[in-house]
Structure 1
């Protein structure tokens, strides 16, 4: 395989290299660390596996590229603009992050702790989003901010909230 044992990180790196979705080296490095952490949350086999996450990510980016939407800026916070491509790539990468390999109805029927945590609503998706947001709060994988901790400036907080909101909307 051309992408070896790290299909999600490989797709992420190819997208960053090809489409220049992040400008700073620090942000790129942290985004690749983020993609490695996400990849570690996917199993090697079954349907909701690393290859599936990479495939969805590559297909979504290809659609955005062909449509001309990849580099559209959609952030109302001008100092913190991110492209449609970046926020959509993150949503595609994480849409099945930590997936339990059973459907939501099964989790609800079994009264699984994940179903209880998310009140039986889009259980696997909410789990993926919660775990993703934890990664984005980690200084090692937070590609959205300056890298200083704590990230409390009004611009950074607004950017993170906006980014989070879009990812949540796309995954759900």
Structure 2
């Protein structure tokens, strides 16, 4: 099996979505961000941090969650509470991160890349809760049982073919 390569991921994503959804994947510097097309940039841009493969998959997963109206807004119009959240704020964060992290796990597995749950709260020393991990796993199993959303399915299939993996099975996903 081939080791995942971020430049190949960029090429693959852009081949799949540059024309069909006017969206490209871009290697960024610091913080990841989604920027819709504007007068200076003809394409919507999924910008991930520091050239990290995991960051690219995570940002793609958020793009896969966002509907057509949200994809017209910077960062999909969501407010983001940065690192340093309280336990209550972290609980709210986990509620909205289940689906994107389920998508990310599916794409990671398809690409042959290790998936890590992200609490995205390093300075508070609050990691991903056991219930969050269980909810993400349950969502992955549900998606595999009921079918993947279109963009996730396209990516999982393309990543699986590119990495030489077999189709995904529920048994591959556990905590």
| Higher RCO (C-alpha 8 Å, min separation 6) | 1
Structure 1 or 2: larger strand share? 2
TM bucket, shorter chain: 0.3 to 0.5
When normalised by structure 1's length, the TM-score is 0.34
When normalised by structure 2's length, the TM-score is 0.34
